[in-house]
Amino acid sequence: MKTFQLFVMILIAICNSAFAQEQEKVRKKKEDPVSFSKHQFDVNLGVGLNMTTIANGTKAHVFPISASMDYGIAKTVSLGFNLGYTSVAMHIPSFKRKIAEATGNLDLLKPRKQQIATIGIRLAAHYGQYEKVDFYGGPIIGMRYSLVTLAGELDSIKRVFEDPATERKVAFGGFVGIRYRFVKNMGVFVELGALHAAFQVGVNYRL
């Protein structure tokens, strides 16, 4: 009888230990500050290093900046939006110089700049539930707003959206990225492909 009681006590102790270990695994999984999951909300703030919407010979007044937000609608899928902006000095091609010289229309030679704003919706699939790394990618579609003004005028994102002279086009593309979180809610990211910059880096914050 004592042997049986001892056996039952040992069995209960083993079961309690196994249950406690399983609970600890569940707790750690819930507290994991980096893995992607449903209902996760991420904010990216980035700077582009290579503009996708300008021609050779231009110089940036404002390097591409962006803000994006992604919300986990499924275990490995997020839906979000992206806002980008840049301002560049426009290159005056040689044929315009020749026209200006031939016609005497010096207005063609006045320095101008192009302000570009993009806003889009993006869908991303997330691959590899690693401890500190989130790989993701998907399509993005939205609108591209382009406004040409004289170089001396102030940059204004609001004006780009509201000015009647703004050129508006539908834009679409794809992107891939990687996020690395070094603390619970903060990290860095790198993305290739967007509506306004081919390559961008920045900070990531998870709400």
Q: pLDDT tens, 114-137?
A: 888 999 999 999 886 677 888 999
Instruction: Look at residues 149, 159, 152 and name the one whose alpha carbon lies nearest to residue 117.
Output: 159
For domain 34-206, the question of CATH label 2.40.160.20 is answered with yes
Res. 4 pLDDT band, cuts 50 70 90: very low
Given a cut of 90, whether residue 156 has pLDDT beyond it is no
Q: 115 with 144: CB under 8 angstroms?
A: no
Given a cut of 50, whether residue 202 has pLDDT beyond it is yes
% of the chain at pLDDT higher than 90: 25
pLDDT at 86: 85
- Measured between alpha carbons, how far is residue 130 from residues 93, 168, 181 in Å? 50, 40, 11
The residues that bridge with 93 in the sheet, in sequence order, are none
Q: Can you tell me the distance from the alpha carbon of 165 to that of 162, in angstroms, rounded to the nearest whole number?
A: 9
- Measured between alpha carbons, how far is residue 158 from residues 154, 155, 166, 184 in Å? 11, 9, 11, 35
On whether the pTM is more than 0.85, the answer is: no
pLDDT at 164: 80
Average pLDDT, integer, range 165-183? 89
Delimit the domains of the chain by residue range: 1-31, 34-206
